[in-house]
A and B are shown apart, each in its own frame.
Chain A
Amino acid sequence: ELKVEQNPLFLSMQEGKNYTIYCNYSTTSDRLYWYRQDPGKSLESLFVLLSNGAVKQEGRLMASLDTKARLSTLHITAAVHDLSATYFCAVDSSGGSYIPTFGRGTSLIVHP
Chain B
Amino acid sequence: DSGVTQTPKHLITATGQRVTLRCSPRSGDLSVYWYQQSLDQGLQFLIQYYNGEERAKGNILERFSAQQFPDLHSELNLSSLELGDSALYFCASSVLGYGGELFFGEGSRLTVL
Contact = CB atoms under 8 A, between A and B. Distances in A.
Contacts of B33: 99-100
Interface residues of A, number: 23
Interface in B75-102: 90, 92, 96, 98-102
Given A43-B90, A105-B42, A98 B98 contact: yes
A84 B58 CA distance: 31
Interface in B9-52: 33, 35, 42-43, 45, 48
A96 B48 CA distance: 13
B43 A88 contact: yes
A101 B106 CA distance: 19
B2 interface: yes
B44 to A, nearest CB: 8
A98 B104 CA distance: 17
Contacts, number: 57
27 contacts: A31-B99, A33-B102, A41-B106, A42-B90, A42-B105, A43-B102, A44-B2, A44-B104, A45-B101, A45-B103, A48-B101, A90-B102, A92-B99, A93-B99, A97-B56, A97-B98, A98-B96, A99-B33, A99-B45, A99-B48, A99-B56, A99-B58, A100-B99, A100-B102, A102-B35, A102-B42, A104-B42
Interface of B: 2, 33, 35, 42-43, 45, 48, 55-56, 58, 90, 92, 96, 98-107
